[in-house]
Amino acid sequence: MASPSRSGVFDSASDRRVEQFCESISFDSRLYEDDIRGSIAHAEMLAARGLISSEERDQIVVALGEIRRELEAGSMEFRIELEDIHMHVEQALIDRLGDIGRKLHTARSRNDQISTDFRLWVRGAIDRIEGRLVDLQRAFLSRCDDDFEIILPAYTHMQRAQPVLAPHYWLAYIEKFERDRQRLLDCRRRVNQSALGVAAVAGSTLDIDREATARQLGFDGFTANSLDTSSDRDFAIEAAFCLSMIATHLSGWAEEWILWSTVEFGFLKIPHAFCTGSSIMPQKVNPDVLELTRGKTARVIGNLQTLLVLVKGLPLAYNRDLQEDKPPVFDSFDTVDACLELAAPIVAGAELRPESIRARLEEGYLDATTLMEYLIRRGLPQRRAHHLVGGIVGEAMRRGVPLKELTLEELRAHDPQIDASVADVLGVDNAVRAFVSPGSSAPDQVRQQIDAWKTRLG
């Protein structure tokens, strides 16, 4: 059987190799639910406008329900000559209803049909990913109270920098994933515009109701320009960018926890249910899920690049190149979804090792900046205080002691303004308590943020 997309203008059948080359049913079959939803909305609009009868509409809707059940059951045979999911659904409808089935494509092209289906799918996928992000945020938040008294070294340039409360770390990731959520939700607004009714490229001469189909399908509105809509894949590329940012944040978290779980750091135990062993070394507990999370980020970023290159030279309006948009989008959503599904239980189930952390916490002079700001409060210019504390740290390093073990006399040798109150800012515990600025690791600031996020995330 020839493809329904080939009209009487053709004087020969398709070369079988062309059919194989052009097919997309191998990957776009997952759009079947969205295609049927769009087709039902379109049929109801055609009937409301008098372009088909109410009896024809009812027959089409019933038949589409039967086709949906057949697709759900996996009993429909896919044929490459029908190319894609849209033609499979339409041909199945024609097989059941004959000319009544042929009427469904009135005032519709595969161009606006594909765009509508894809928008519906991306919208649903965004909602799933957004829910996963909330789960991950809640997992980080669930740690904050239990870990509140644990102090960790914060790093810059992978060198110890300043001390922070453990929940300050967890809140940092909550913030990152909140930005990801907000980007997705903002992207969703641009996804959620109906393309149905722009037809192939210029619209239709038939009196259709685009607002009705948009409303029935849960769109916020419909697109304004048929030329733009026919060619537009910005919504898919933007979603791929949002996914790339999520994957990048997951990769950074995975890298950090991989390091923290090593003997060299000894900060963290990753739940063994999310680790694997070695085929030869019996002692190994490898963080493979975290490593693959880091590795799969490359695929997600690569998919974004694929999409950008795909559209970079396309003239208005629709071009068949756009058929290649779905595999990278599907893969990015699937990959990020899988990573997020595992990230939440890993975060919730990991165990900090406070004794190991505490044993080396005074190493690295994490209180040096706090000492510098102590001197600033006593009137020294920042650059002078910075240089002076560098000298104090140098002396402590030569002696192999933390700053808090230097005597008052040794400290005053660097600056006579230093007095006994300096003890209030030396040592990691005092350094953490010394913070006061909004957004800092000050215990009261961290507590306020924890309480605020409990309210926001429920």
Distances, alpha carbon 433 to alpha carbons 329, 406, 425, 437, in Å: 47, 20, 8, 11
- DSSP H helices, 404-442, are 408-412, 428-434
The Cα–Cα gap between 138 and 135 comes to 5
Which residues, in sequence order, are bridge partners of residue 194?
222
The Cα–Cα gap between 119 and 12 comes to 35
Greatest alpha-carbon span in the chain:
100
Angle between helices 166-191 and 443-457 (to 10 degrees): 40
The Cα–Cα gap between 402 and 229 comes to 65
Which residues, in sequence order, are bridge partners of residue 316?
none
Burial class (CB in 10 A: 0-12, 13-18, 19+), 160: middle
Hey, CA dihedral for 396, 402, 403, 409, is it positive or negative?
Answer: negative
The Cα–Cα gap between 17 and 264 comes to 58
What's the residue count for the chain? 458
Distances, alpha carbon 283 to alpha carbons 79, 172, 263, 277, 286, in Å: 52, 33, 12, 8, 10
Say whether 157 is catalytic. yes
Nearest Cα residue to 101 out of 37, 38, 43 = 43
Contacts of residue 58, defined as CB under 8 A and 6 or more positions apart, other chains included, come to none
Instruction: Give me the amino acid identity at 371.
Output: L
Under 8 Å between Cβ of 224 and 230: no
Q: Which of 7, 157, 279, 421 is catalytic?
A: 157
The Cα–Cα gap between 231 and 361 comes to 57
Query: Which residues in 134-144 are b (16+ Cβ under 10 Å) and which e?
Result: bbbbbbbbbbb
Nearest Cα residue to 6 out of 104, 103, 83 = 83
Say whether 437 is catalytic. no
Query: Which stretch of DSSP H or E encloses residue 315?
Result: none
Query: Which stretch of DSSP H or E encloses residue 221?
Result: strand 221-222
* In the block, residue with structure tokens 């490229």: 201
- Residues with a catalytic annotation lie at 157, 278
